[in-house]
Structure 1
Amino acid sequence: MANINHGGMHRPSGRMGSICLVALILSLTGAQAAEQAHTTYQGAWLAQGSSCADVYSSGGKGVSFKQPIDIFAPAFIISGNRLRTPAASCRVRSIKPAGDRHLMTLDCTNTISSSDVTVLMSTAPDGSLVRYFNAEDTIGSRYQRCSP
């Protein structure tokens, strides 16, 4: 394979250069998809069939869990790079495309311990969010977005 010298910089030419360009485009597309997913997942979510008014309250800083918190409520809030459940607080480390889904990697802490958690999610055409147990799960659990 030939190398082309451009002002002291060596750059691969031919097929290797094309492969590098395609890899760069794919990585940018993946990053854009992850950023879009991060924006899409922002908000308060609750398992379908439950009442948002029973779990959430609105305040000056947005939506929060109603007091006293029901630690068993199937609910979470994503705000910025934070994901909160009634029982844990997590930092979103990354969101990466995984086929037609997204793999979210979290650092979570509750009153007892800290752990790394991975979540596989997608959005449904009706705007709901679907959380999957694993890659083989084809049904998932649906969550509705709760408005502030």
Structure 2
Amino acid sequence: MPMKAILLTLPLMLGGATQLMAASLDALQGAWTAEGTSCTDTFKTVNGHSEFKDRGASLNSGIIVSGKKITGANAVCTAGRVREEKDRLTISMTCADTIMFSDMSVSFRIIDKDSFERFDPNFSDVLTTYHRCSP
């Protein structure tokens, strides 16, 4: 393929990758709490959006996904690459807490529009089920 053709198609290929990531993360947008915990115990609604009641609580098992940002009780992560395989998403994330940062990958299996399972890609039998909370 001539260099000019490569340069002309590069923005289309990159734009497609961005759309794929956005579409993948769309299913996870919002506030979620782990099975066995209550949305009302974990979140409060402020100006129509969910926020943690007490983000630092040791029993907090919720997460909030907003765009590429995934906020949990102990860290804030930014999603990088997203790989889709059938009903599973593996997301490469950079996470930071108050004193350190790290890179990690986490996998999700979408069950339906209001629930998913989170698991370690290396240990898919260890999982946590989350349910969507309404703001």
> TM above 0.5, one fold?
yes
Select between 100-109 and 135-144 the one with higher mean Cα deviation: 135-144
Matches within 5 A, 1:20-99: 33-60=20-47, 62-67=49-54, 69-99=56-86
Q: Number of paired residues?
A: 129
2: CA distance, partners of 1:107 / 1:89: 8
- Displacement of 1:127: 2.8
The residue type paired with residue 34 of structure 1 is: M
**Equivalent of 1:142, from 126, 129, 133?**
129
2: CA distance, partners of 1:114 / 1:143: 24
1: CA distance, partners of 2:58 / 2:30: 18
CA contact (8 A) 1:37 1:102 kept: yes
- Displacement of 1:140: 2.6
2: CA distance, partners of 1:147 / 1:124: 17
Runs of 4+ in 1 over 6 A off after TM superposition: none
The normalised TM-score by structure 2 is 0.78
1: CA distance, partners of 2:87 / 2:38: 29
**How much is the aligned-residue C-alpha RMSD, in angstroms?**
3.0
- Displacement of 1:106: 0.9
Residues 19-74 of structure 1: CA deviation (Å, up to 9, x unaligned)? xxxxx99xx5x765533221110011110111111110110261111036314422
1:111 equivalent in alignment to 2:101: no
Instruction: Rate the CA distance shift 1:108–1:68 in 2: closer, same or farther, 3 A.
Output: closer
1: CA distance, partners of 2:74 / 2:96: 9
Alignment gaps of 5+ in structure 1: 11-23
Pick 1 or 2: higher relative contact order, CA cutoff 8 A, min separation 6.
2
Percent of paired sites with the same residue: 26
1: CA distance, partners of 2:21 / 2:68: 13
Alignment gaps of 5+ in structure 2: 6-11
